[in-house]
Amino acid sequence: MMSNRYNFDNEGVITSSEIKQILERYRIGKKPLAKLLGWGETTIIRYMEGDIPTNEYSIKLKTLLDNPEFYYDLLIKRQDCLTNVAFKKSKNAVLSKIMASKIYAAAYYIINKCDAEICPSYIQFLLYYIQAFSLALYDVEIFQEDYSINNEQMPYLKLYHTMKRCGINTLEVREEYLSEIERELVNAVHEAFSWYGPKALNTLMGIEKSALKISRDRHNNKIISKESIMQYFKDICEQYEIKTIDDIIKYPDQCIWDIRNN
């Protein structure tokens, strides 16, 4: 009889090395992970020793591996299954993983402000203007990601797909992930632009996009470079007399009024 163990014919099934990645990435033990998932205590141990997960269990584990947001949600909902020490250790690990890129910190700060009552595409609009005014007013990017040119018209496509896949949920954003100055900028952009619906902001971004230079990144993907965004919005700041973040509101108010009346 063939043993129910990992072999080269089990393509698509999560491997023991991938399960090990979950344990290390989220700093969680084998038994605690099984408890979080509502499985028998020895389930993960058996998989690590070579037993093959069912398709259902394999999919759940792969989802956790590929989506730290799903793991965070599970951890919060099932924290009573863990000791306080184990919960805090794993929570710190998954938050560090999610916030490895500051674009996620900015996005979740926005989500928290809205109590998760916001759609993924609208977050994209706000992130674009947060980056633009950071570059224009402070000469520094707030996150590393470039504005991507794609068929879905979403500047930060990876984040957009993540939020479409995982849903919009609040998530703790600590001070080390987003500084006070960065939070003030996010607040100012949110206050300035959130009065307007997606149609108005999409129209405004379309006008800006037509004036911005499209280039390519090192992987030959079409992007709008940060340098191009910086120069364009420095001109915007001069035109609309935007000298501090408190002045940002002048831009959408005047520009969208002009669009609607022309």
Do 115 and 237 sit in the same domain of this protein? yes
Do 109 and 221 sit in the same domain of this protein? yes
What is d(CA 54, CA 63) in angstroms, rounded to the nearest whole number? 14
Residue 29 corresponds to which amino acid? Answer: G
Q: What is the mean pLDDT of residues 26-32?
A: 97
Residue 212 corresponds to which amino acid? Answer: L
Tally Cβ neighbours within 10 Å of residue 65: 17
Tally Cβ neighbours within 10 Å of residue 79: 16
3-state secondary structure the chain: CCCCECCCCCCCCCCHHHHHHHHHHCCCCHHHHHHHCCCCCCHHHHHHCCECCCHHHHHHHHHHHHCHHHHHHHHHHCHHHCCHHHHHHHHHHHHHHHCCCHHHHHHHHHHHHCCCCCCHHHHHHHHHHHHHHHHHHHCCCCCCCCEECCCCCCCCHHHHHHHHHHCCCCCCCCCCCCCHHHHHHHHHHHHHHCCCCHHHHHHHHHHHHHHCCEEECCCCCEEECHHHHHHHHHHHHHHCCCCCHHHCCHHHHHHHHHHHCC
Q: Is residue 4 part of a domain?
A: no
pLDDT at 11: 53
Do 36 and 140 sit in the same domain of this protein? no
Q: In this model, does residue 262 exceed pLDDT 90?
A: no
Q: In this model, does residue 24 exceed pLDDT 90?
A: yes
Do 68 and 111 sit in the same domain of this protein? no
Q: In this model, does residue 230 exceed pLDDT 70?
A: yes
Answer for the pair 240, 247: CB distance below 8 angstroms, yes or no.
yes
Do 107 and 93 sit in the same domain of this protein? no
Write down the mean pLDDT value for the chain.
Answer: 92
Q: In this model, does residue 5 exceed pLDDT 80?
A: no
Q: What is the pLDDT of residues 235-251, one digit of tens each?
A: 999 999 999 999 999 99
Is residue 38 very low, low, confident or very high in pLDDT (cuts 50, 70, 90)? very high
Of the chain, the percentage scoring pLDDT greater than 70 comes to 96
Q: Is residue 8 part of a domain?
A: no
Q: What are the phi and psi torsion angles at 228 (to 5°)?
A: -65, -45
Q: In this model, does residue 3 exceed pLDDT 90?
A: no
Final residue before a domain boundary, out of 98, 133, 160? 98
Q: In this model, does residue 1 exceed pLDDT 80?
A: no
Q: What is the pLDDT of residues 59-69, one digit of tens each?
A: 999 999 999 99
Final residue before a domain boundary, out of 41, 74, 98? 98
pLDDT at 2: 32
Q: In this model, does residue 121 exceed pLDDT 50?
A: yes
Q: Is residue 1 part of a domain?
A: no
Number of domains in the chain: 2
Q: What is the mean pLDDT of residues 41-46?
A: 95
Do 179 and 251 sit in the same domain of this protein? yes
Do 93 and 111 sit in the same domain of this protein? no
Q: How many CA atoms lie within 13 A of 157 on its CB side?
A: 10
Do 93 and 106 sit in the same domain of this protein? no
Final residue before a domain boundary, out of 79, 98, 117? 98
Residue 3 corresponds to which amino acid? Answer: S
Is residue 261 very low, low, confident or very high in pLDDT (cuts 50, 70, 90)? confident
Give the CA-trace dihedral at 164, 170, 175, 177, to 10 degrees: -20
What is d(CA 186, CA 176) in angstroms, rounded to the nearest whole number? 15
Residue numbers of the domain that contains 55: 16-98
Do 82 and 120 sit in the same domain of this protein? no
Do 218 and 121 sit in the same domain of this protein? yes
In 3D space, the residue among 182, 167, 187 whose CA is nearest the CA of residue 102 turns out to be 182
Tally Cβ neighbours within 10 Å of residue 187: 15
Q: What is the mean pLDDT of residues 97-126?
A: 95
Do 184 and 77 sit in the same domain of this protein? no
Do 142 and 256 sit in the same domain of this protein? yes
